[in-house]
Structure 1
Amino acid sequence: MCSRLIVVIQGFVGVTKANSNESWFAPLFRIVGYALLALSLFDVIDIFIPALFTNAAWEFQTVRSLVERVPVPLLGAVLVFSGEKSLKIFRFLSWACLLVGILFFLLVPLGISASLRLDNQSAQELNTRVTQQANQLQQLQGVLNKATTPAEIQSVLTRLNPQAGAVPTQNVAELKTQLLARIAGGQKQLQAQAATNRSNAQRLLLKNTVKSVLGALVAGTIFILIWRQTNRAIKANRQRA
């Protein structure tokens, strides 16, 4: 009987100490929470300066940056709600969480739109580079087909390989055939390399897009859940009052 009484007393003392620690830590939670929210605000300002709306690369990077920084304001909001005693500030932060959640949901179509535009821009830039290089090879091929002297072949060889040595005066026809085969191989390699680069760029963009979109959805959902829970707490407080 005495042992049970001792256990009950120890449990009561432990609860009392826990409550004391909680009341002591509450202001600290609030201070740290506000500090994290302030740091998050500084990050957001830095992300939007300079603002380059209608620029697909900037929009996509902005969405990624905002999603990557979500943990800090989330933790800050939870800490503030854990220690804030002012009902007005509590209510303001609650509705602010709803607004932030909606904004994160709006980032989803923005990120997808920016991703599609980036993909089109990347394809156009790649096609432009490939077309320019293919035209250069085609020009060299045309010059080489008309070449009849070692000097003309030497000019083509130098353009293909600036470190190439002098063209031998013998077997000019054989060298010309080799250069033509080399140019044809370069054209095939150019197309294959372009297809590989295009595939790699699309894969990387898709991965980043999915990560950003899912992150924005999760962040928006969590902020709205925080709003719902805090709004219920506000209503419960009103009923008690």
Structure 2
Amino acid sequence: MQDIQVPAMGRQTFTLLRGVGYFLLALFLLDLLTIVLPFKFTDAVWELNTFGQIVERVPLLLLSFPLIFFGEYSARMKWEQIATKVISWLALVMAVFFFLGVPLGIVNTFRVQTIRQGDIIAKTAQQNSPLQAIAERLNKSSTDNEIRDVLKSLNPQQQSLVAKIPKPQEVKKRLLTEINTSINQTQSQSDEIKRRISNALWKDSVKWVIAATLSALFLVYVWIQSKWARVGINY
């Protein structure tokens, strides 16, 4: 089959548009390499962030295909016979990647949420641990002398003043109230942080999942419409 003849200006326009398409595809592939390397498979945080970063850059990929395939056979160079065939199959490969990435992204969102909430819980427990230890010691102290001993251990530089406290039981009660208030405030702050992190995490995840699904469908459409490139023809 002979190449379709086009005016000189039309040939230049085709070459320019396709050149932009190849350039955008090259940028996407370069970004893809920098995102995935080094590999950290089984790391939920890395997998989710990698999936999200690739999805965020998918406009480069989606725009490159229509530009590369624009005009089908017209004004093609010899090397494009192989290039267009490879790129057509690349569209299907990327579609499969995005389809598979959707369930994996959802699973990793749950995993990352668990990891981040676990970090917050551990940090909160670390902050509350000294206060809980003091509260436990005070609760075990029943006599005035026992309470004074606890207070002395908390204020070793003011032992003489602690020994003169007239009503240790009231001091104990007030300290326990303050400790409980502080622990409750820390726990409330922790719960709020967990809620905000979960909301932000799922907001991004849902956006990526929807974008990946739509991108995969579009790429399948590109693959179907570029059948002419896979069939092969001498340019």
Shorter-chain TM range is 0.7 to 0.9
Partner of 1:27: 15
Tell me the distance in 1 between the aligned counterparts of 2:12 and 2:163. 91
Partner of 1:117: 111
Partner of 1:15: none
Which amino acid letter does the alignment assign opposite residue 148 of structure 1? I
Deviations 1:47-72 (A, max 9, x none): 11110000000000010011000011
Tell me the distance in 2 between the aligned counterparts of 1:26 and 1:197. 54
Tell me the distance in 2 between the aligned counterparts of 1:168 and 1:196. 41
- Please give the secondary structure, in 1, of the residue aligned with 2:70: helix
The answer as to whether partners of 1:115 and 1:209 remain within 8 angstroms in 2 is: yes
Higher relative contact order (CA closer than 8 Å, sequence separation 6+):
2
1:122 Cα deviation (Å)? 2.2
1:133 Cα deviation (Å)? 3.4
Pairing of 1:20-169 with structure 2 (within 5 A): 21-82=9-70, 85=76, 86-145=80-139, 146=141, 147-149=146-148, 152-153=150-151, 155-156=153-154, 169=164
Percent identity reads: 31
Deviations 1:32-59 (A, max 9, x none): 2212111111111111111000000000
Residue number among 217, 227, 231 corresponding to 2:213 in the alignment: 217
- Please give the secondary structure, in 2, of the residue aligned with 1:148: helix
The answer as to whether partners of 1:143 and 1:156 remain within 8 angstroms in 2 is: no
Partner of 1:163: none
Tell me the distance in 2 between the aligned counterparts of 1:222 and 1:167. 76
1:157 Cα deviation (Å)? 6.6
Aligned length: 213
1:82 Cα deviation (Å)? 1.8
Tell me the distance in 2 between the aligned counterparts of 1:95 and 1:148. 78
Tell me the distance in 2 between the aligned counterparts of 1:71 and 1:155. 64
* Higher-helix-fraction structure: 1
Relative to the length of structure 1, the TM-score reads 0.76
Partner of 1:186: 182
The answer as to whether partners of 2:21 and 2:64 remain within 8 angstroms in 1 is: yes
The answer as to whether partners of 1:144 and 1:156 remain within 8 angstroms in 2 is: no
Which amino acid letter does the alignment assign opposite residue 56 of structure 1? A
The answer as to whether partners of 2:147 and 2:172 remain within 8 angstroms in 1 is: no
Partner of 1:13: none
Stretches (4+) displaced over 6 A: none
1:80 Cα deviation (Å)? 1.4
- Note the residue ranges of structure 2 that are not aligned, 5 or more in a row: 1-6
